[in-house]
Structure 1
C-alpha cells in the first residue's frame, strides 16, 4: 500500500486548438515535476485542446487528432516517470463526445472519467457539444483511490457523494473556471462544502490565460480534510507545484506549503485586463496594437493597459484632432504617451471632415447640422485607424467602456472600430477608479513603468467626446455614478423598474436608461470582443433580442 505521494499541480496557459503546442506544455510541466520526484501531474480541464473549444470540438478530424495525441502522451509515461491526469475530448465508437479526464500511467491509458455536470448558463454552452458522463467511482492510482471531478462536477454535491460512497480517498478537481470579480471566494466556499460532505481532502487545478472574451486566473489550491488551505497558488501566472502527501490513520493529508494571498478589487481586474489583451494579441499573432488617443480617460487607460501587457514598443498611439479638439486634450494625450514611453503620432482629420462636408452638400441641402456631422468625425477617425492597422498589421484596440456601450453612446464604424476592447466590461466609474489605482500601483508582471502613468488632469476633467463646441458627456447622460448604478441594477441584477426607483433613482431617468439599453442591442452585436470582468458581460453572456418590444418601465404600474 502506498503511504506517500508527490502530486504536481500544473497551472498552465493552453491555446484553444493548438494540440501540438499544448502537448509540449504538458510534457514540459511533466519534466519539471519529474525533477522534483512527482508521482502524478494533474492538469486543468481540456488542457490538451484548450478551453472552451466551442464548436471546434465538433469537427471529427479534430477529435481524432486529439485522441491520437492522448495515446502518444500515454506512451511517454512508460519511462517510469510521473503519471499524468490530463483533460481532453474523447469520442466513443457510437459517436458520443465527452469532456474527459484521462489518467496516463505505465505507458497506457489507465482510466477515463467523463464530466457529469455540463454547465449551460452564462458563458458556458457545453450541452451544445458534449454528452454528460455517468456517475462513476474513483480511479485506482498506484494503490490510491482518486475521486476525479471535472470543474462543474464540484459545484453540486452529486458527483462528490457518489465518489465518497464508492471509496474515494482523495478528491481531484480539474478546472477551466474563468475569472469574475469575487469568483475565487465562491470556488473556495464550494470546495469547502465538498470537503465537509465527503470528509476528504481536495485538489483544485485551474487553468490560466485569455481566450477571446474569457480570462482564467489560475489560483490552484489544496484543502485538507480539516478545511484548511495546505496550498494556494499565485494567481495570474503559470506554475507547476509539487506537493507531498502522506497517508495516516485519519486519511490522506497534504503537507503545508505556500499560501499566497488572492488579489482583490482593482488589482485583480487590472491583471485580467492585462492578461486578456496580451493573450488575444499574442495567440492571434498580431505584432502589436494601434490606439486612437483623444486626451480622455478611456483611451488613456486603454493605452496604459496595452503598454503593461505588451511593452511600449508594441503600442502605437494616434491623436486625430478636429476643429473641436481642445489644446488641453492635445497636451494631455502627449503627456500620457510620454509617461508610458509609447509612440504618439498626430494625424489631423480636418481635411477629411471638410471633404466629406463638401461631398454631402447636395444630399444634405435644406437640413441643419446634427449628430450626423458629429458621427462623421468619429467615422473618419475609425477609417484612419483601420488604414494604419491594415498597412502595418497592428490590431486596432477600441476604447469604449461598458457605460457607453450599454446606452449606445458610441458610433458604429467610428469609435466602435477595433478588434478587441479591454474596457468592454468596465463601467465608467471603475475606469476612473482603475486609473487612480494604476497611478499608485505597479502591477505584477506589467511591462510599463512604475509611478504615475495617467496625467491627473485626464482623471479630473469632465469627460467629453469633443465632437461639437463645449460638449460634455453629461449633456446627453446622467452623471456616471447615477448611470452606472442604474445600469448595474438593469444588467447584472435584472431588477424590476419599481425596485430601482425605490433605491432612490428618478423614475423618468430609469425609464430613459432602460430604453437606451434595449435599443442599443444592435450596436453591441457589432462591437468587438473584450475582457469579461463582471457576472454579466455583454456578448456571449448577456444575449438579448435586437427586435424587442418588451419595456419594463411601461409595466411599472402592474409591477408595483
Structure 2
C-alpha cells in the first residue's frame, strides 16, 4: 500500500459546450501533471461539458458526444497518471452529475452528486438525478471520497463516505463568485474536516460563463484544519500536491500559497474576467460604449480596457443640447488616460428631427420623460448601428441601483449585449473607482495610475436629459438608496423592518414600489456578472404581472 501520493490540482477555465476544446484543455493539464510526476490529476465540476451546461443536457446528441470525449480521456490514462474527470454521465436511463476516476485505461469507479442544488442560480434537480447512495472509489488501494460541490454543504455525504472507509476527500466544484463566498467555502470545508477527521482537496473552476464568474481559489485542508496549499484566485493554475500517510491517515505537505485579496479587488477581477470571457468565448471583435462623462461609463470603460486591451475598445461621445461642456471634457480626459481614441456623434439633429415627426401627435402636451427617453433611445440606436457595422458588442453602463428602481431607459441606455455594472450598486461604483485609481489589478491590460479623472468621481451624477437634471432629483441619496435596496433585494426585508432600521416609511414605500414596477425592464436587460448574493436575472426571479403589494 502506497505511503506517498502526488495529486495534481488543475484549476482550469472550460467553455460550456466546447467538447473538443475542453478535451484539449483537460489533456494539456493532464500532460502537465504527468510531467510533474503525478499519480492522479484532478479537475473541477463538469469540466468536460463546461459548467453550468443548462439545457444542453436535454439534447441526446450532446450527451452522446460528451460520453465519446470521456471515453477518449479514459484511454489516455494508459500512458500516464490517473484522472479524476467530472462529467455528465448517462446510466440506466438517468443522467447524473458525475466524477469518474480512471487509471491505466480503465474506470476505477464513478461518484454521483447527491445534493443537487435547486436555488439561486442553480436548478440541477431539473436535469440530474441523485443517486440512492454514495461510495468511495478505490485508487491504487486508497479509498478516495468524491463529494461534488453541494455535497459538502451538508454533513450527510461526507459522513457516509467516512463510514465506508474513505481516507481522503477530493471535492470538484463549480462554485460561482459572490462577495464573501470564499470565507463560506473555508468554513464549510473546516466543518466537514472536523466532523470526519479527513483531509480534503477543494478544487474550483475559474472563468466567466454568461452571468456567472468562477474565481478559482482552490485549496487543500488537512485534517487538523491547516491549509498547506492555496491556489490563486482569478487565474488558471496547475499545481502538484504531495501527500504522505502517517499513522494510518493522510496529510499534505505545504507547497503553494496565495495572497488573499480585498473585496474591491475581488469584485474588480470578477468584472474583468466576466467581460473578458464573455467577449472572447463568444468571439466578439471588441466592445463599444457611450462615454457620458459620468462615473458609470468611465468605470465600464476602464474595466473594458483592463480586460481586453485598448485596441479592442471603442468609445463614443453622444452629446445632446443638454450635455454640458464639463461632461464632454471629462469623457475625453478619461479616454486619453486610457489611451483609447474617442469619437463624437452629436445626436441633437436626430432628436430634433424625431420631435418634429411627433409634433402633430404631441401637440398640447408638456415636455416630460417621453422626450428625455427619445434622447436615450437615439443613443442606443447610434451605438447599435456602430456595432452592426463594425462588429463591436455594445457595452451598457447602468449599475444595480439604477436597474433596481427602473432609473434606466428601455431600448436606450439599457440597449446592448453585456453590462459590466449590472450587479454593482452605485456606492460600490464609487468605491471600486477610487480603488482602481490607486491599484492596477493583476492581469489588467490598462495603464496604472488615476485612470478616472477626479472630477468624474466628485461631481453630482446626472443623466443630462433635461436642463440642470441630477439623479437626486428623482432618487434618494445613493448611500441611503443602496442600504434600502440591499435589505429589500438581498435580504427580502419588509417595509416595517426598513422603518425599524431608521428609514422614513414614505420613502421606503416609494423605493419598494419602484423596485416592484421595474421588473419588466430588468427582464429585458442584457446579462452581466453576478457579484452579490442576489443578482437580478438568474438569482432573483419575480413575476412581471404581480398583484401583491406589500404595503396593503
TM range, smaller chain? over 0.9
Aligned length: 552
Q: How does 1:142-541 map to 2 (within 5 A)?
A: 142-541=140-539
What is the Cα deviation at residue 366 of structure 1?
A: 1.4
- Show the counterpart of 1:89: 88
- SS of 1:149's equivalent? coil
Query: By how many angstroms is 1:263 displaced?
Result: 1.5
Partner of 1:557: none
Q: Which residue of 2 aligns with 1:77?
A: 77
Question: What residue number does 1:18 align with?
Answer: 18
- TM-score, with structure 2 as normaliser: 0.99
Q: Which stretch of structure 1 is more off in the superposition, 297-306 or 126-135?
A: 126-135
State the distance in 1 between where 2:412 and 2:468 align: 21
- Tell me which residue corresponds to 1:100: 98
Question: How far is 1:242 from its partner?
Answer: 0.5
Q: Distance in 1 between matches of 2:132 and 2:241?
A: 30
Partner Cα separation in structure 2 for residue 229 and residue 246 of structure 1: 15
Q: Please state how far the C-alpha of 1:93 moved relative to its aligned partner.
A: 3.5
Alignment of 1:6-45 (within 5 A): 6-45=6-45
Write the distance in 2 (CA, Å) between the matches of 1:113 and 1:251.
Answer: 22
Note the residue ranges of structure 1 that are not aligned, 5 or more in a row: 555-560
Preserved CA contact (<8 Å) 1:8 1:40 = yes
Contact 1:219 1:234 in 2 (8 A): yes
Equivalent-residue separation in structure 2 for 1:88 and 1:78 (angstroms): 20
Deviations 1:88-112 (A, max 9, x none): 1011132x10100011211122211
CA distance in 2, matches of 1:258, 1:47: 23
TM (normalized to structure 1)? 0.98
CA distance in 2, matches of 1:90, 1:264: 38
CA distance in 1, matches of 2:261, 2:179: 10
1:514–1:553 Cα contact (<8 Å) kept: no
Q: How many angstroms apart in 1 are the aligned matches of 2:42 and 2:16?
A: 19
Is contact 1:71–1:109 with CA below 8 Å preserved after alignment?
A: no
SS in 2 for 1:363: helix
Query: 2:222–2:228: 8 Å Cα contact kept in structure 1?
Result: yes
Rounded Cα–Cα distance in structure 1 between residues aligned with 2:134 and 2:112:
9
Instruction: Give 3-state SS (helix, strand or coil) of 1:360's partner.
Output: helix
What are the Cα deviations for residues 104-159 of structure 1, in whole angstroms up to 9, with x where unaligned?
A: 21112221111000000000000111111232221000111101111000111110
Query: Matched residues in 1 for 2:224 and 2:217: separation?
Result: 20
CA distance in 2, matches of 1:136, 1:361: 71
User: In structure 1, what is the Cα distance between the partners aligned to 2:401 and 2:260?
Assistant: 28
Question: Is the CA contact 1:46–1:88 (under 8 Å) kept in the aligned structure 2?
Answer: yes
Deviation at 1:57, TM superposition (A): 1.0
- Deviation digits for residues 54-80 of structure 1, max 9, x if unmatched? 00111000000000111111111011x
On the 8 A contact 2:400/2:423 being kept in 1, the answer is yes
Residue of structure 1 equivalent to 2:3: 3
Moved segments of 4+, more than 2 Å? none
Q: Using the TM superposition, give the Cα deviation of residue 264 of structure 1 relative to its aligned residue in structure 2, in angstroms.
A: 2.4
Rounded to whole Å, the distance in 2 between the matches of 1:181 and 1:45 is: 21
Q: Distance in 1 between matches of 2:89 and 2:146?
A: 16
In structure 2, the gaps of 5 or more residues are none
**How many Å separate the matches in 2 of 1:272 and 1:553?**
37
Deviations 1:318-343 (A, max 9, x none): 00000000000000000000001112
Per-residue CA deviation, residues 23-52 of structure 1 (Å, 9 max, x unaligned), is: 100000011111110000010000010000
3-state DSSP class of the match of 1:104? strand
Contact 2:228 2:257 in 1 (8 A): yes
8 Å contact from structure 1 (residues 7, 42) kept in 2: yes
Cα distance in 1 for residues equivalent to 2:243 and 2:427: 47
Q: Distance in 1 between matches of 2:528 and 2:544?
A: 20
Q: Counterparts of 1:488 and 1:288 in 2: how far apart (Å)?
A: 33
1:53 aligns with 2:53: yes
Distance 2:321 2:20 in 1: 53
The separation in 2 between residues aligned to 1:461 and 1:385, in whole angstroms, is: 26
RMSD: 0.7
Q: Helix, strand or coil for the counterpart of 2:520?
A: helix
| Contact 2:111–2:135 under 8 Å retained in 1 | no
Q: What is the CA–CA distance in structure 2 between the aligned matches of 1:473 and 1:240, rounded to whole Å?
A: 47
Distance in structure 2 (CA, Å) of the matches to 1:378 and 1:463: 16
Alignment match, 1:558: none
Distance 1:535 1:77 in 2: 40
Query: SS at 2:366's partner residue?
Result: coil
Shift of 1:549: 1.6
Counterpart-to-counterpart distance in 2, 1:459 and 1:136 = 54
Structure 2 residue matching 1:512: 3-state secondary structure: helix
Whole-angstrom distance in 1 between the partners of 2:198 and 2:313: 49
Partners in 2 of 1:472 and 1:502 — Cα distance?
29
